[in-house]
Chain A
């Protein structure tokens, strides 16, 4: 069947728009099915009726009167004439009316074809979207940190008031441009671009990407950039929210703190170096049998200095993470096992417990003393395994230092340096308020179990800061 064979009436009945034909007196001569369905009326109620009288004068709408009486007489057609009205049967509706004069052969007065499209839902959605956008923009403008919203092609849709003010640019200068093109291209960083390209397709947010640069009018600044995907419900289009956090002051405070820590560390270590030097100088003039004692003294001063560094590295604000601390001690001790002792392995098994920094030094010295003794005496062949373990047992901490070495052959006879080492162990245990639970040979090696009171900082008193 050719298109020309299709009857005009069939087309009229099929199209989704409501159609009506009016004569020159504005009486309805015909209407299509879509009209009857949309406005819940029938052919009997409609045909021959003056359009304004239709359905209890529902269509007596001022805007429609203007169209039909003032606009149409002077124009052959009108498109997109918007009529908004409260219909008692179907509620408030927005109609888009297209009107066209049609002339049939012999009919000089002509008729008017009205195509009426109900665009209420579309208009409501558009209105809702506009309200959402205004709300978003007002939130965006309230946030003190500068931020921009980007399209998927990385161009800027909107920039917050803070962004425009801080970077001294206008909205027109940002709209449709890429962030990398702004200012003096401070944001044109390949690593940032790479991360930004992943935010939308992979839903991978950017967390704390730091950029330090000179900004016109601001001077040297450090910004932390955070980005994440934002989606509107029911909408498949995604955008990216990019927030610029000015961390210059915080960064400066951190740098000052690091600088101060370094300065203090430098002074402490230099003073300890002087003490070690004094001992070395004294040792030079002392009798040979005493030299070992001087060297042991130097080693213990070295251990305290090392513990000072390890505490700094394991510190979480006001507490020291005992597991991290023990691992650092083991790592430093392993690094010192060179030459004949390089076959000794140190393992750590520790629960995540926290201790008071004031007790961290005697605790570290205790571990150091026990581990050093084991390394010195348990492994004459230079190979073996030393285990440092810390676990919570009830309301106590159990520290275990165990080796698989040769064991203690004669516990009753200890040479002077070992005796001194044991004395130190006893002193540190007493200082920490603990007890030596067992000490001696078990199986193939030696094991020392020490019970210490739970040195956890009360939950309210702990200021947890990432190490």
Chain B
């Protein structure tokens, strides 16, 4: 069982994602923006992976910046991005090394495959 921090500003999408992840036996922590997520990341809570939307509220690449700070705080953390936008070279350059991106809209099967691959890596 792993603990996954889900960062998504769209409440319904976040809750459904958490529901799916919990169905597979994992725990989730929930944040709607980078500041909330950083509170968890700076706390002593155990976190195995970060699943973050790239476009967070008004910050087009907010998820990329969050992941960068998250890795500085917790170098062993695994990161899975999601986005509804085209993944540009500029975006890729900001990705934490070796991390994957799941395109929206994703199904529970696609999310499950990505989360399992992330935790197995």
Contacts and interface: CB of A to CB of B under 8 A. Distances in A.
B52 to A, nearest CB: 14
Contact of B86 (A265, A299, A301): A265
A135 interface: no
B20 interface: yes
A284 B85 CA distance: 28
Contact of A262 (B23, B60, B103, B107): B60
30 contacts: A262-B85, A265-B84, A265-B86, A266-B84, A266-B85, A268-B84, A269-B83, A269-B105, A270-B10, A270-B13, A272-B84, A273-B104, A273-B105, A274-B10, A275-B105, A277-B12, A277-B17, A278-B16, A280-B20, A281-B19, A284-B19, A284-B23, A295-B107, A298-B108, A299-B107, A301-B105, A302-B107, A302-B110, A305-B104, A309-B86
Nearest to A309: B86
Interface of B: 10, 12-13, 16-17, 19-20, 23, 55, 60, 83-86, 103-110, 113
Given A262-B85, A276-B106, 20 more contacts: A265-B86, A266-B55, A266-B83, A266-B85, A269-B103, A269-B105, A270-B10, A272-B84, A272-B104, A273-B13, A276-B107, A277-B13, A280-B16, A280-B107, A283-B108, A284-B19, A298-B105, A298-B107, A306-B103, A312-B86
Contact of B13 (A265, A266, A274): A274
Nearest to A299: B107
For chain A, what secondary structure do more than half of its interface residues adopt (helix, strand, loop), or is it mixed? helix
A266 B63 CA distance: 14
Interface in A229-264: 262
Contacts of A262: 60, 85-86
A275 B13 CA distance: 9
Nearest to A269: B84
A270 B84 CA distance: 6
Contact of B10 (A273, A284, A298, A299): A273
Contacts, number: 73
B40 to A, nearest CB: 23
B106 A302 contact: yes
The 9 closest A-B pairs by CB, nearest first: A269-B84, A277-B16, A272-B105, A273-B105, A269-B104, A276-B105, A298-B107, A273-B104, A266-B84
Contacts of B20: 280
A284 B107 CA distance: 13
B28 to A, nearest CB: 15
Contacts of B113: 338
Nearest to A281: B16
Interface in A326-361: 338
Contacts of A272: 84, 104-105
Contacts of B86: 262, 265, 309, 312-313
A268 B19 CA distance: 22
Contacts of A273: 10, 13, 84, 104-106
A305 B105 contact: yes
A374 B105 CA distance: 24
B14 to A, nearest CB: 9
A302 B108 CA distance: 12
Nearest to B12: A274
Contacts of A298: 105, 107-108
A95 to B, nearest CB: 70
Nearest to A313: B86
Contacts of A280: 16, 19-20, 107-108
A266 B60 CA distance: 10
A267 B13 CA distance: 13
A295 B109 contact: yes
A273 B12 CA distance: 9
A299 B107 CA distance: 7
Nearest to A276: B105
A268 B103 CA distance: 12
A449 to B, nearest CB: 31
Interface in A265-323: 265-270, 272-278, 280-281, 283-284, 295, 298-299, 301-302, 305-306, 309, 312-313
B32 to A, nearest CB: 14
Interface in A78-116: none
A299 B105 CA distance: 9
A272 B103 CA distance: 11
Contacts of B104: 269-270, 272-273, 305
Nearest to A272: B105
A161 to B, nearest CB: 38
Contacts of A305: 103-105
A274 B17 CA distance: 10
A273 B86 CA distance: 15
Nearest to A283: B108
A84 B110 CA distance: 92
Contacts of A269: 83-85, 103-105
Nearest to A267: B84
Contacts of B12: 274, 277
Nearest to B9: A270
